[in-house]
Structure 1
């Protein structure tokens, strides 16, 4: 499969409404895009989800959170959050995702924004030993708590990163599987989410995961 051709064929150039500074290749309709990819999993890479937009907005508005630091973006999808970190001066940015199309999309989108993002195809819940993740000073994760099976292992990885001293930030619209006890450091109204969420405008927050926080999930 020509992954670049698939990404380009299913998307168009646009900007997420909360993050107009960044250009991405995004699709318009989730189910049609999923059918077209013939993949087992939904094409998360083809959309700018509300938690990711909130996290990218936070990074752009507060560059001191990542500037000069090594950044890992977990479940990167389109690469939106990773690109935001690169734009404001992160020393190095690595985008992790299990989907090869996400890896391709993130690389394409980074090039569109004239930034360097290393893309790694990896399941961080199965391989926490990835050197780029262990070396990251800042770990970013947008929309990783949407699924009851995915949220616990993802949060276990994020907690491990926090315990070793990384600054961990999570973007999420307070989905049911987001654990209690996380501290919201910013909130945003994300417009034009009707094709992905249950409402046209979705309230999403950025949470800081500190060592020992949300220990009970």
Structure 2
């Protein structure tokens, strides 16, 4: 599906909803009636269609601590819906770049940025094997869900750290987290959408990424 067609599909089938406990942010999010898996035929599953707990925790942390991004260039790595990019822009980041390899995620992020009246730069690419970002704040939500991807992300973030980046990670505690590089800074009780409305909320943690400890 072309980006313009994907954007129309998202606008028509994913209703605008407030982000849980962050009602100042609204996103196009999937509901059971959305038929969102029709977009999965284009490549990646539609991860961008829901709020994942690690990204939610980091968005909450940014809203509670705007000084962590205020006046700084911010990169949302694996942006998905654009939640972290939007949270950073609303918190006063000087420049925000939202990056994702899935063109449908970029279509969703563009719609969501307009919905929240923030200015973002979007890039549809996989940067992990390329040059490191320099002198930026990098936000990483829920990217350590598979061992092979986690290794690539960790290797890339190590290079970014050496290039004077500040890195924040939000995650629900997945097995592939590089725990020897992570210092917890806050914990948030987040509803995990994948387990149904009756499931208990799950603590998600925000970490500062640093050199091997």
Same fold (TM over 0.5): yes
Structure 1 residues 36, 198: closer, same or farther in 2, change over 3 A?
farther
Mapped to 2, the partners of 1:195 and 1:7 lie a distance apart of 23
- Could you tell me which residue of structure 1 aligns to residue 58 of structure 2? 55
For residue 116 of structure 1, the aligned residue among 116, 119, 124 is 119
Match of 1:27, SS? coil
How far apart are 1:160 and its partner, in Å? 1.3
Superposition map of 1:109-188 within 5 A: 109-128=112-131, 134-181=133-180, 182-188=182-188
Pick which of 24-33 and 79-88 moved more: 24-33
Per-residue deviation, residues 46-100 of structure 1 (Å, max 9, x unmatched): 1110000001111111000000000001000000000000001100000000011
C-alpha contact (below 8 Å) 1:29/1:195 kept by paired residues: no
User: Structure 2 regions of 5+ residues with no counterpart?
Assistant: none
**Number of matched residues?**
209
C-alpha contact (below 8 Å) 2:6/2:39 kept by paired residues: no
What TM-score do you get using the length of structure 1 for normalisation? 0.89
Per-residue deviation, residues 154-207 of structure 1 (Å, max 9, x unmatched): 111112111211110000001111122211101000025245899441211111
- Could you tell me which residue of structure 2 aligns to residue 203 of structure 1? 203
Match of 1:60, SS? helix
Mapped to 1, the partners of 2:155 and 2:198 lie a distance apart of 28
Pick which of 140-149 and 30-39 moved more: 30-39
Superposition map of 1:100-111 within 5 A: 100-111=103-114
Match of 1:149, SS? helix
Match of 1:120, SS? strand
User: Structure 1 regions of 5+ residues with no counterpart?
Assistant: none
Structure 1 residues 88, 35: closer, same or farther in 2, change over 3 A?
same
C-alpha contact (below 8 Å) 1:67/1:90 kept by paired residues: yes
2:193 counterpart of 1:190: no
Mapped to 2, the partners of 1:33 and 1:108 lie a distance apart of 16
Structure 1 residues 198, 138: closer, same or farther in 2, change over 3 A?
farther
Say what the alpha-carbon RMSD is for the aligned residues: 2.2
- Could you tell me which residue of structure 2 aligns to residue 34 of structure 1? 37
Higher helix share: 2
What TM-score do you get using the length of structure 2 for normalisation? 0.90
